[in-house]
Every structure is written in C-alpha cells, then in structure tokens.
Amino acid sequence: MKNLMIIAAVAALASQLAMAPVGAAETEKVFKFYCAQCHGLTGKGDGPNVTKDFPVSPRNFTNAKEMNKLSDADLKNVIMDGGPSVSKSPMMPPWGKTLNAEEVDGLIKHLRVLCKCKGKQG
Amino acid sequence: MKPILTAALSTVFLVTTASSVLADPAAGKAAFEAKGCGDCHYTAGPAKEKTIDDQLAKKGPELWYAGSKFQKDWLGKWLADPKPIRPMKFNVLTEENPGDHPKLAGADAASVADFLMSLTSTDVPAGKVKPKKNPKGRQIFIKKMPCSGCHQYAGRKNKISGGRSGPSLVDAGVRLNPDWILAYLKNPKVFKPVKMMPVFTGLLSDKDMMNVARYVANFKPKKKK
C-alpha cells in the first residue's frame, strides 16, 4: 500500500512538472530561436530577414502603444495561426504546429516584458 | 539455364551501375574523417537533436541523409569550390556567413561526395516530384506561407529577393533532390527535429506541399539568351 502511495505521489508530481509553465530563461531561448529571425533578438522588428525587400515591418515588441492594442488572446491567435488570423500579413507564419501551448504562453509573457505593457484587457 | 543467366547478367549490371554511381564511398569516408569534416557534421542517423540547445551546439548541418538531400553533381563541385549557401553564419542571426568552408582537392571532393551520397534516408520516397513551373507553388512560397520571408530566391529578371535567416534557395533545383524537398515538408522532424522553420504539416495539404516542392525544385540558373 505504501509503495502504491509513493507511486501515486511521484506520478502526480511528474504530471505537474509536465504542465509547468516554461521559465523565463527558456522562453527567451525560444524567442531568440524562432522569433528573432524577423523580430530581432531584442524584439524591435529588426531581424536579419528584414531587408529593404521585406514587404511588411515585423512588429516592434518594444512599442507599447502598438502592443497595447492587442490582447493576450490576439497574441496567442497570431502566434498559433499566423498574421491573417488577425487580419495582418501572412509574412507572420503560423507556429501552432511548431510550438507547444506552454511555449506560446511563455512567449506572450515575454512580449509583455518587452513592451512593458499589459495589452488590451477583456 | 536461362533464368540463371538472366540473374547473373542482372547482378553484373546492378554491380556495374551501382559502382558507377557510387565510385568509392569507403575512400570518401576515410577522407571525410581525415579532413575533420565530422567535427562540424554528423553522419550517423537518425536525428539526434532534442532541444534548442542541441541544435545550437551544432557547428554545421547534419549530413546523415545527404545522399537523399543533395544532387551528386552539385555536391562534388561544391566540395571542391564551396560557396556560401546560407547568407548568415550557421545558427547565428547576427553574423554574415564568412564563406570559410574548407575546400577539398579534386579527388577528395569526388570521393567524399560518393561517401555522402551513400548516406540515404528511407523517408525520402524516390520519383515523386517532377520539377515544374508551378503558379500555385509560387503563390504559397511568396504569399500564403511565405517561405520567401526566410529564404532567398531568384525572382523576376533574376533579382534575388527573400529573407536571410534560412538557407538560400537560389538555384535550389541544382542542389537539392526534388523528392527530399517534399519529404522534408511532409515529415520535417525526421530530418530536423528542432529547427527555426515552422512545421507546415497539417497546415498545407499534401497537394500544396507537392506544388511547393515542384516550384522550388524548378529553381535553376536562367539560360542566357
């Protein structure tokens, strides 16, 4: 019986760990790996893909005024389903098949740190 | 008697054909090791990368499926006279590709190409993709799922456009096996479990992936008029 209880406790802990949110350091790594190609390492919209031919300006995440127009749900939509899901450019591709839910939630928090803003509420 | 003769002749034919395609992979493997190519490229599959750190620790692209990915003529020439494929340094967003890939002397280039072409993946079915002008593929590449955001290509009047974080696709039809392009789009994690490119499986239909593969495989140098 005691063994069973230990197993149950370990299983509960393991499932909690699996659900644990991605930490800030890990999220920054995710951001720099996937997002910085276009949005730049510091999120100013100046990644190496942004040449004079690039058809749109990738979002500058440090622009609080613009970032405040978007709710966290908008950010989630655009990350998961790409620009067209919020009537923006398809140059922002859908990452829903690449990133897991915890990574996306972590990125949203990271964007709020970069913009020092809370975004559109409600 | 006749079946035996046929079988014997077929064997001779197969051996001859195979040896003309793969001249000397063993010598190429020895040259690959002697030149230290393995310091930057791993050649034993399957894919090893599990995390972003694993991917970032690599100094160069994995080559364990090189024989399914590349075209042999291109590979031999490139090894003898390498020109940057990626605008940016491998795994780095802030530095240009310095174009300092080591050069191999002619005989080594040929045998290393033979060795690399012997490294194939069963996940690349052969004979599926025929390079072809493809307006639907172009539409996806440039607008719908904009591959061009990260990959350079030669557009109208041969103007080089596109992003710089991914490998250039200018003349990709000379470099890449058309069937690999499709296999990679359909099943990317077999080849690159952790990569900067989005996964399009489930977002693009098989038909559209075929359109993109045909379009990209048709990127070839324009003939001078």
Per-residue pLDDT of chain B (225 residues; tens, 9 = 90+): 455 545 544 444 444 444 444 468 999 999 999 999 999 999 999 999 999 999 999 999 999 999 999 999 999 999 999 999 999 999 999 999 999 999 999 899 999 999 999 999 999 999 999 999 999 999 999 999 999 999 999 988 899 999 999 999 999 999 999 999 999 999 999 999 999 999 999 999 999 999 999 999 999 998 765
- What's the pTM? 0.87
CA of A34 vs chain B CAs: smallest distance (Å): 5
Domain identity same for B98 and B159:
no
Residue B126 in domain: no
User: In degrees rounded to 5, what are phi and psi of residue B26?
Assistant: -65, -45
Least confident window among A52-66, A82-96, B19-33, B155-169: B19-33
Q: Is B144 in Cβ contact with A90 (below 8 Å)? A: yes
CA atoms of A111 and A119, how far apart (whole Å): 10
Q: Is B56 in Cβ contact with A48 (below 8 Å)? A: no
Domain identity same for B41 and B110:
yes
Asked if B15 is an interface residue toward chain A (Cβ–Cβ < 8 A), one would say no
Asked if A47 is an interface residue toward chain B (Cβ–Cβ < 8 A), one would say yes
Q: What is the pLDDT of residue B23?
A: 66
Query: A75-89 in b/e burial notation, b at 16+ Cβ within 10 A?
Result: bbbbbbbbbebeeeb
Residue B14 in domain: no
Domain span at residue B152 reads: 135-217
Residue type, B123: D
Q: What is the pLDDT of residue B11?
A: 46
Q: Is A91 in Cβ contact with B146 (below 8 Å)? A: yes
Asked if A33 is an interface residue toward chain B (Cβ–Cβ < 8 A), one would say yes
Q: pLDDT tier at A1 (50, 70, 90 boundaries)?
A: low
Domain identity same for B96 and B172:
no
Q: What is the pLDDT of residue B49?
A: 98
Q: What is the pLDDT of residue A8?
A: 58
Asked if B144 is an interface residue toward chain A (Cβ–Cβ < 8 A), one would say yes
Residue B88 in domain: yes
CA of A114 vs chain B CAs: smallest distance (Å): 19
Element (H, E) at B160: strand B160-161
Q: What is the pLDDT of residue B103?
A: 97
Mean pLDDT across chain A: 89
Q: Is A97 in Cβ contact with B201 (below 8 Å)? A: yes
Q: Is the ipTM of this complex over 0.90?
A: no
Residue B105 in domain: yes
The domain covering A24-115 belongs, at the CATH homologous superfamily level, to Cytochrome c-like domain (1.10.760.10)
Q: Is A94 in Cβ contact with B203 (below 8 Å)? A: yes
| Residues from chain B contacting residue A34 (CB–CB below 8 Å) | 196
| Residues from chain A contacting residue B52 (CB–CB below 8 Å) | 29-30, 33
CA atoms within 13 A on the CB side of B13: 6
Q: pLDDT tier at A20 (50, 70, 90 boundaries)?
A: low
Residue A15 clears pLDDT 90, i.e. is over it: no
- Per the structure, the count of domains in chain B is 2
Residue B149 in domain: yes
Domain identity same for B112 and B45:
yes
CA atoms of B192 and B69, how far apart (whole Å): 12
Q: What is the pLDDT of residue B211?
A: 98
